[in-house]
């Protein structure tokens, strides 16, 4: 915080607005008193210029293409750390000591089972339901099963809810998958690590042994890590807004998952792979690039562009390397979707339209290729994103509740409807 002030002059008024300086990133003009002192609102649909909270968790420099979690760059975390360590870092602010890590891992591992009654809940859904529909429902329903962790005023209950959500999400997501393909639910195994346990719950069946490949488990873990948190994105802001009313953690996280489902956000990985398949062969790429540039065509290159990154999404670089590794391991050397993706990326990056608008591949551009190679259908891509992002949502929720400045979120509006008018009886309406 500094003593600097911005001066706003309009009509016959002059207001002094405090300027706050962050550790990194642009300064922030504090307009909290604007309405009280100036009788005006600011208007910022899509929040392109609005900071809604103070946070110490994640920082993105969109121009540099940099993503930091508690100061640590994502590429270092993706190559040197692992998902549960990143969860600890996001939740508690520092990398854990070996003893802290062991304790945390132990706690998460021992909370992976779901209340048995929840299996009946799954059975109420149609088998052809999108797994995200099931997941949003089941996450919301957790508040009906875990009453002892819904009192947000109790720090211990908040902690238990946090651990439960991180621990149970792989089971919730894997079971949504198993249900959709008509296979029996596979229970979690405490001898496997977080990612391997998830793969086992998704792909093992009672009829035969299934051994999780360490390379695939590592790739899965990296996908979780790359999606763990991303500052005040749409789903995280949804969680914070839901939480601002005092709603319980399970309800808030379910709200975040519902927001994530949209194709402009977490649904983009599914939409991207479907687009790459539809393009099919490299000779069709120019046609699709032309469509993406045509203002009269609603088509957009999925997996391209980002509200904040105006440079390479640093997660996309790691994801691209991972895609090569996984396909190599699986002996898939001439994957047509990967060929289309690489050529589409090359052509788009050379095109002045994408260069001028600073549109680069985002994290979703390559993740679908890896997930498909692992055996996941496209409908599971967004659920896996939701699983990974749960720690980000819950870390931001936790931070919000401990912020003394937090209050119920209540945006205002630029009203352009009718001014006051009297009710007209039906017989008098022309
Ligand atoms: N293909 C073609 N043109 C695009 C694309 C794209 N993927 N993305 C943006 N543009 C164009 C827009 O048409 C607009 O052009 P204009 O200035 O001539 O009107 C300009 O670039 C700016 O785009 P906006 O939509 O205003 O940017 P915004 O920040 O609102 O949108 C978004 C960001 C939603 C991610 C957008 O780039 C998009 O729809 N991308 C495709 C979907 C996608 O991949 N989403 C995943 C995001 S990452 C994540 O959630 C993990």
In DSSP notation, 124-147 reads: TS-TTS-HHHHHHHHHHHHHHH-G
Q: Looking at residue 329, what is its pLDDT?
A: 84
Q: Looking at residue 75, what is its pLDDT?
A: 94
Over range 388-417, report the average pLDDT.
96
Q: Is 307 in the pocket of ligand 1 (CB under 6 A)?
A: yes
Q: Looking at residue 215, what is its pLDDT?
A: 86
User: Where do we find the tokens 């500052």?
Assistant: 231
CA atoms within 13 A on the CB side of 54: 16
Q: Is 277 in the pocket of ligand 1 (CB under 6 A)?
A: no
Task: Give every CB contact of residue 161 below 8 A, 6+ residues apart in sequence.
Answer: 146, 149, 150, 248, 249, 250, 394
Which of 306, 403, 406, 428 is catalytic? The answer is: 306
364 is catalytic: yes
Poorest-confidence range of 103-112, 182-191, 195-204, 320-329? 320-329
Over range 283-304, report the average pLDDT.
95
Please give the Cα distance from 307 to 305 (Å, whole number): 7
Helices then strands, each counted (H, E), the chain = 18, 6
Q: Is 31 in the pocket of ligand 1 (CB under 6 A)?
A: no
- The sheet that has 28-29: what strands, in order across it? 5-10, 13-20, 28-29
Q: Looking at residue 397, what is its pLDDT?
A: 97
Mutate to test the pocket of ligand 1, among 49, 226, 238, 305 (most ligand atoms within 8 A of CB): 305
Does the pLDDT at position 77 exceed 60? yes
Q: Looking at residue 159, what is its pLDDT?
A: 96
Please give the Cα distance from 107 to 421 (Å, whole number): 61
Does the pLDDT at position 2 exceed 80? no
Q: Looking at residue 23, what is its pLDDT?
A: 95
Q: Looking at residue 426, what is its pLDDT?
A: 97
115-142 pLDDT per residue, tens: 999 999 999 999 999 999 999 999 999 9
Q: Looking at residue 10, what is its pLDDT?
A: 95
User: Where do we find the tokens 């608008």?
Assistant: 357
Write down the H helix ranges in 71-204: 74-80, 83-92, 98-109, 118-123, 131-145, 155-180, 194-203
Here the tokens at position 156 are 């211990």
Question: Which strand (E) or helix (H) includes residue 7?
Answer: strand 5-10
User: Where do we find the tokens 């309406």?
Assistant: 429
Q: Is 362 in the pocket of ligand 1 (CB under 6 A)?
A: yes
294 is catalytic: no
Q: How far is ligand 1, taken at its centre, from the CA of residue 306, in Å?
A: 6
Q: Looking at residue 3, what is its pLDDT?
A: 80
Ligand 1 atom with the shortest distance to the CA of 265: 50
Q: Looking at residue 414, what is its pLDDT?
A: 97
Q: How far is ligand 1, taken at its centre, from the CA of residue 250, in Å?
A: 31
Q: How far is ligand 1, taken at its centre, from the CA of residue 351, in Å?
A: 16
Q: Looking at residue 266, what is its pLDDT?
A: 87
pTM: 0.91
Q: What is the mean pLDDT of the chain?
A: 94
Please name the residue whose Cα sits nearest to atom 19 of ligand 1. 295
Which of 294, 364, 403, 422 is catalytic? The answer is: 364
Over range 229-253, report the average pLDDT.
97
3-class DSSP string for 343-403: HHHHHHHHCHHHHHCCCCECCHHHHHHHHHHHCCCHHHHHHHHHHHHHHHHHHHHHHHHCC
Q: What percent of the chain has pLDDT over 70?
A: 100
Q: How far is ligand 1, taken at its centre, from the CA of residue 373, in Å?
A: 27
Q: How far is ligand 1, taken at its centre, from the CA of residue 364, in Å?
A: 13
Ligand 1 atom with the shortest distance to the CA of 306: 35
Poorest-confidence range of 80-89, 91-100, 264-273? 264-273
Q: How far is ligand 1, taken at its centre, from the CA of residue 299, in Å?
A: 11
Q: Looking at residue 67, what is its pLDDT?
A: 96
Model confidence at 274, in pLDDT bands (50, 70, 90)? very high
Q: Is 367 in the pocket of ligand 1 (CB under 6 A)?
A: no
Q: Is 111 in the pocket of ligand 1 (CB under 6 A)?
A: no
Model confidence at 331, in pLDDT bands (50, 70, 90)? confident
Q: Is 303 in the pocket of ligand 1 (CB under 6 A)?
A: yes
Better-scored residue on pLDDT, 386 or 308: 386
Q: How many angstroms separate the Cα of 251 from the Cα of each of 96, 143, 152, 242, 244?
A: 29, 7, 12, 8, 12
Over range 392-410, report the average pLDDT.
95
Please name the residue whose Cα sits nearest to atom 14 of ligand 1. 357
Q: How far is ligand 1, taken at its centre, from the CA of residue 304, in Å?
A: 7
Q: Looking at residue 330, what is its pLDDT?
A: 85
User: From the CB of residue 124, how many other CB atoms can be counted at a distance below 10 Å?
Assistant: 9
Q: Is 357 in the pocket of ligand 1 (CB under 6 A)?
A: yes
Please give the Cα distance from 316 to 230 (Å, whole number): 13
Does the pLDDT at position 1 exceed 60? no
């Amino acid at each position: 915080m500094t003593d600097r002030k911005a001066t706003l002059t309009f009509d016959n008024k002059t207001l002094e607005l405090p300027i706050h300086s962050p550790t990194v990133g642009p300064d922030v003009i504090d307009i909290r008193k604007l309405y009280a002192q100036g009788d005006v609102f600011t208007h910022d649909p899509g929040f392109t210029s609005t900071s809604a909270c103070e946070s110490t968790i994640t920082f993105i420099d969109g121009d540099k293409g940099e993503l930091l979690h508690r100061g640590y760059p994502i590429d270092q975390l993706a190559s040197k750390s692992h998902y549960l360590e990143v969860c600890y870092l996001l939740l508690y602010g520092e990398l854990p000591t070996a003893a802290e890590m062991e304790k945390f891992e132990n706690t998460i591992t021992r909370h992976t089972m779901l209340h048995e009654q929840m299996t009946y809940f799954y059975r109420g859904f149609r088998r052809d339901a999108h797994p995200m529909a099931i997941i949003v429902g089941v996450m919301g329903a957790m508040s009906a099963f875990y009453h002892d962790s819904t009192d947000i005023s109790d720090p211990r209950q908040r902690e238990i809810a946090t651990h439960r959500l991180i621990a149970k999400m792989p089971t919730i997501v894997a079971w949504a998958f198993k249900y959709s393909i008509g296979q029996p639910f596979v229970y979690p195994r405490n001898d496997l690590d977080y990612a391997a346990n998830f793969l086992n719950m998704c792909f093992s069946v009672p009829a035969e042994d299934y051994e999780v490949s360490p390379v695939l488990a590592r790739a899965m873990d990296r996908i979780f890590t790359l999606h763990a948190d991303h500052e005040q994105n749409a789903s995280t802001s949804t969680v914070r807004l839901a939480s601002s009313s005092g709603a319980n953690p399970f309800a808030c996280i379910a709200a975040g998952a519902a927001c994530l489902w949209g194709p402009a956000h977490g649904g983009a990985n599914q939409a991207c792979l479907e687009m790459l398949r539809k393009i099919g062969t490299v000779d069709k790429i120019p046609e699709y690039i032309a469509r993406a540039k045509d203002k009269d065509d609603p088509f957009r290159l999925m997996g391209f562009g980002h509200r904040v990154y105006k440079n390479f999404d640093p997660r996309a670089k790691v994801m691209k390397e991972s895609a090569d590794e996984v396909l190599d391991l699986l002996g898939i050397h001439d994957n047509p979707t990967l060929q289309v993706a690489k050529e589409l990326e090359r052509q788009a990056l050379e095109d002045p339209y994408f260069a001028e608008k600073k549109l680069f591949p985002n994290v979703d551009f390559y993740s679908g290729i890896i997930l498909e190679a692992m055996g996941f259908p496209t409908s599971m891509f967004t659920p896996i994103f939701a699983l990974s992002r749960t720690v980000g949502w819950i870390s931001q929720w936790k931070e919000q509740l401990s912020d003394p400045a937090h209050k119920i979120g209540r945006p205002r509006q630029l009203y352009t409807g009718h001014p006051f008018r009297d009710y007209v009886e039906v017989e008098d309406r022309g």
